Amino acid sequence: MAVSFTLEQLVLHVGAASAEGVRAGPVTGVASLSEAGPDDLSFLGNPRYAAEVAGSRAGVILVPKGFEGRPSGGQVFLRVENPSYALALLCSVIESSLWPRPASGVHPTAVVSPAASVSPGAHVGPLCVIEAGARIAADVVLEASVHVGRDASVGAGSWLRPRVIVGDYCVIGARCRLQPGVVVGSEGFGYEVIGDEVRRLPQVGIVVLEDDVEVGANSTLDRARFSRTVVGRGTKIDNLVQVAHNVRIGAQCMIAAQVGIAGSSVIGDRCVFGGQSGVGGHLNVGDRVRVGAQSAVLSDVPSDEFVNGTPAQPLGLERRLVVLSRRLPDLFKKVDSLAAALDSLAKDAR
């Protein structure tokens, strides 16, 4: 990763309120506080690492405005409102230079139906397939081997990484980012037991990703049995997540890796799901709900709850139950001891 920023450029990119200290030369890398060298930029994004700032060799450190430390010789502190977000702003500049938007046009190895509509401002990479009736809007980037099905649409400014599949009739909104291997519109897991046989139920709905949705690598979002599976505006989905048929996810949710959401469940706005958590089918999860990692949501959850465990319980209750469960072995010993004492008293009474 080759980068180079002067101090003046860093101040501009991160929106620093002040620069404290003196150093010469550009910054040519980004590293953690413990690993950074004199030519690197680092940041204090979590207060638990505050003690590492004093010993860091980083040439430039992004620190909160109220941080009480002072830079050492040859070091500069850039005081910002939110160091983590300030670093994200800088990384956005780095990203645009490392992965510049490809030039508009259709690669000669791509297969584009004459009945498809592809904006002249879109980029269609090698070995892509765009089926009849598909619509590709302006500034879309389809990297190698992307498949866009019949009558599907990809909104303006969306970026689909290699081997993404957008199923027939599905809708990708504007400015969405789909990482390698994402499948939007795979057939939902719908079956019915008829007599001694398991019969397939046709899945004839679609998937809709609203604007600014991001989906991590190898995640799958199943088409609805009927109507639509929906992911709301601004929601971010991590790698290896399964969203089943007819699920509706609200706006601005964050869903970590290996989460599974079963069919027809409804998730509210601004919910957060920890890794490997799951939601059973046909449930309602309210707005701003937080679900702990590896938790299993097996009943409806009202808004503003933090639930944890299997089955998921309100966090305070779940923590108390965990504490009590650790005391069970001693409790059983006491019960056995009391039972033995009672038996002895009963024998003596006879």
Domain that holds residue 343: 318-349
Judgement on whether residues 138 and 213 belong to the same structural domain of the protein: yes
pLDDT in tens, 158-210: 999 999 999 999 999 999 999 999 999 999 999 999 999 999 999 999 999 99
pLDDT surpasses 70 at 149 = yes
**Do 109 and 70 share a structural domain?**
no
Instruction: State pTM to two decimals.
Output: 0.86
- Report pLDDT digits (tens) over 32-77: 999 999 999 999 999 999 999 999 999 999 999 999 999 999 999 9
Q: Is residue 66 part of a domain?
A: yes
The torsion angles phi and psi of 148, rounded to 5 degrees, stand at -115, 120
Check pLDDT > 70 for residue 1: no
Q: Based on the fold, state whether residues 225 and 299 are members of the same structural domain.
A: yes
Tokens encoding 272: 């957060």
| Long-range interactions of 275-279: CB distance < 8 A, separation 24+ | 275/238, 277/312
The pLDDT score that the predictor gives to residue 327 is 80
Identify whether 27 is part of a domain.
yes
Q: Would you give the DSSP letter of residue 311?
A: T
In single-letter form, the type of residue at position 346 comes to A
For 71-120, the pLDDT digits (tens) are 999 999 999 999 999 999 999 999 988 889 999 999 999 999 999 999 99
Q: Classify residue 339 by its DSSP letter.
A: H
Best CA proximity match to 289, nearest among 304, 277, 273: 304
Catalytic, 245? Answer yes
Catalytic residue among 13, 107, 147, 245: 245
Segment 259-289, tens digit of pLDDT: 999 999 999 999 999 999 999 999 999 999 9
201 belongs to a structural domain: yes
Tell me which of 49, 69, 98 is where a domain ends.
98
Three-state secondary structure readout of 161-212: CCCCEECCCCEECCCCEECCCCEEEECCCCEEEECCEEEECCCCCEEEECCC
Task: Please give the structure tokens belonging to residue 271.
Answer: 């919910």
Q: What's residue 17's pLDDT?
A: 78
CA distance readout (Å), 154 to 145, 248, 330: 15, 20, 61
8 A C-beta contact, residue 246 and residue 231? no
At residue 90, φ and ψ (nearest 5 deg) are -65, -40
The conformation of residue 78, written as its DSSP 8-state character, comes to: E
Find, among 129, 134, 132, 131, the residue nearest to 119 by Cα: 134
- Whether the predicted pLDDT of 325 surpasses 90: no
CB neighbour list of residue 129: distance below 8 Å, 6 or more residues apart? 110, 111, 112, 146, 147, 148
Separation CA 171–CA 181 (nearest Å):
17
The pLDDT tens digits for 106-146 are: 999 999 999 999 999 999 999 999 999 999 999 999 999 99
CA-CA distance, 254 to 163, in Å (whole number)?
Answer: 23
Q: Which of 98, 120, 142 is the last residue of a domain?
A: 98
- What is the signed CA dihedral for 34, 254, 140, 132, rounded to 10 degrees? 140
* Length of the chain in terms of residues written: 350
pLDDT, mean of residues 150-162: 98
> What's the structural domain count of the chain?
3
For residue range 219-265, list pLDDT tens digits in order.
999 999 999 999 999 999 999 999 999 999 999 999 999 999 999 99
